[in-house]
Amino acid sequence: MPDDLISIGQMSRRSGLTVKALRYYYRVDLLRPAAIDDATGFRYYSPDQTSTARVVGRLRSIDVPLDDIRRCLESPDRAAVLEEVLRAHQVRLEARATRIAGHLHELMHFLTNGLETTMTNVPAADRLLSDDEERKLGIAYFNSVWGLIEKEDRTTEDDDLMLHMAHSSRYHWGQVGKPEHFARGEWQVSRVYAVLHRSEPCLHHAQRVLDICLANGIADWDIAFAYEALARGHAVAGDAEAARAMTERALEAVENIADDEDRKLVLADLESIPGQKRFW
């Protein structure tokens, strides 16, 4: 056995991977030792495998799938494949962040609305649907929009449906909801336009979120998300300075959010805006 090989413990210390992880990566044929002692079963690595092990560790730290990492390591053009893998993973992570934000907004619908409604924009006698039907449609469309936002292979028809459902949800909540429902509906419409890279309507509805919050004394995470929507809209428009200014306003609002988990969710959403950094 070559003298320059290092033990699995040494590889662990040099690469930052645990011994358990190195054993697992051997079992799944991702990072094979340079040699295995037939008598003891001990695994030994070549020192030049350290850099590869570090790459594996960094990619796994952001949840890049094992098959994608394997494809990178086995490709003769590792740099090109790595870029392709990372861009695809970026789409998945953005979808995940959007899904979490959607779950938060859905949760707040349930927490703040319950089974009671106190406001209507159209007299009940003049409406075709009951309060309960309006509410069910508002929730159903709201939730369906998130499913389409996170869909990686959306078609043009999907984009149209996503947009129409976002507006429909906002309309139905407008009949039976409270100001916070109106603000959250406008926020989702703004997010859909951001996903579609349409800055003007994105900013219009983001401003509506802020206006509704300010007019009705709505604070906490709603006002923070209002500034987040404006920051995202400016980023879509390519105005980095305005996006940063709104991000700063959002960060100021985050300081006044009572719940730690709500605060982390807003910060995570801010980080998903192109050009932003990690805030927590």
- Sorted by where each begins, the domain ranges of the chain are 6-62, 89-271
Per-residue pLDDT, 120? 42
DSSP labels, 99-126: HHHHHHHHHHHHHHHTT-----SS-GGG
Angle at 30 (CA atoms; ends 63, 76), nearest 5 degrees? 95
Per-residue pLDDT, 48? 92
What is the Cα–Cα distance from 256 to 247, expressed in whole angstroms? 15
Nearest Cα to 21, choosing from 8, 6, 4, 37? 8
Per-residue pLDDT, 95? 73
Phi-psi region of 106 (alpha: psi -120 to 50; beta: other; left: phi over 0): alpha
What are the structure tokens assigned to 126, written together? Answer: 């003049």
Per-residue pLDDT, 112? 65
Tell me which CATH code domain 89-271 carries. Answer: 1.25.40.10
Per-residue pLDDT, 280? 41
Tell me which CATH code domain 6-62 carries. Answer: 1.10.1660.10
The stretches in the chain having pLDDT less than 50 are 115-122, 124-125, 278-280
Nearest Cα to 221, choosing from 251, 192, 194? 251
Per-residue pLDDT, 268? 85
What is the DSSP secondary structure assignment for residue 128, as one 8-state letter?
S
pTM for the predicted model, two decimal places: 0.58
Per-residue pLDDT, 3? 73
Q: Side by side, which strands form the sheet with 43-45? A: 6-7, 43-45, 35-36
- Per-residue exposure over 34-70, b if at least 16 CB sit within 10 Å of its own CB, e if not: beeeeeeeebbbeeebbebbebbbebbeeebeeebbb
What is the DSSP secondary structure assignment for residue 79, as one 8-state letter?
H
